[in-house]
Amino acid sequence: MDFRLVILKVFTRKHQLSLQADAMTLLQQILTDHEITNTEDAIQSLEILAKEYLLQDDCSTIVTKPLLQRVYETVVEKSTAAVTDGSQSSEIWDPDHHLYFIDAFEMPRWHYSLERKAFEKAIQKPNIAGSAESKAMFLRDRYNIIKQIILRNENFSPPAFAGKDRANYLKLTSTKNLLGRAGGRFLLFGMLTRSPEGRLCLEDLDGIVPLNISNTVKSIRLYQTGWLIIAAGPQ
């Protein structure tokens, strides 16, 4: 069975990953070797591979065969270890073999690079005393990470092939793109803030716009300043 469309749906449309030709061939070979014949099982297997790929330190938006092969071998090793652990479940477990304390200063700090469209390790070493730019960097990285999670959701990803669905996906608009487009309906992602006059606003990396919530539908949810939200409505 040809799973190319399913592979593109999971890797390209959902996770924003581009596959080289030999990587596409490898994925189809993996599905064939494991005798996967239906779409549901194929999607589940591809999701596991895609998520494991995104955990790699050297992953990029272009998937290569060597790295994908390494990811596949890692998944197989984890599955084998899980089966082995399950067969030994009757034995007494030693907590020291399952608990490990990690020093916060040994944890690498990651930030999202808008230029490379990938996560990179920060060069600076962790320090208990933050710099003057620490808060701005924290808010920017938090914004970028959450935005990438949203964009990798299938509802916000444009279809890989042209068609009627390509115009119906949810598209986030930057505040700077609202200029001169009065009357249109937009979907914005940003942080709730207050202007110096006390007015509720939405702020992203490009600017800030005031919000009119007089016609907002009431709900049981609580929203407050500092939260990152998706706001929809006319300008």
**Across the 235 residues of the chain, what is the mean pLDDT of every consecutive 10-residue run?**
87 89 92 89 91 86 91 87 58 69 79 77 76 82 88 78 65 85 84 90 90 79 85 80
Q: What is the pLDDT of residue 65?
A: 92
Sheet strands (E) in the chain:
18-19, 62-63, 110-113, 118-121, 185-194, 200-203, 208-210, 228-234
Question: Which residues are CB-contacts of 108 (< 8 A; sequence separation ≥ 6)?
Answer: 121, 122
pLDDT reported for residue 183: 76
Q: What is the pLDDT of residue 68?
A: 92
pLDDT of res. 86:
56
pTM for the structure as a whole: 0.55
- Note whether 57 and 31 are within 8 A (CB): no
Q: Helix, strand, or coil here: 185? A: strand
Pairing, β 18-19 against β 62-63: parallel
- The predicted pLDDT at position 192 comes to 92
Residue 83 tokens read as 């089966």
**Torsional class of 43: left (φ above 0), alpha (ψ -120 to 50), beta (otherwise):** alpha
| Buried b / exposed e along 164-179 (16+ C-beta atoms within 10 A) | eeeeeeeebbebeebe
The predicted pLDDT at position 118 comes to: 77
Separation between Cα atoms, residue 134 and residue 111, nearest integer Å: 12
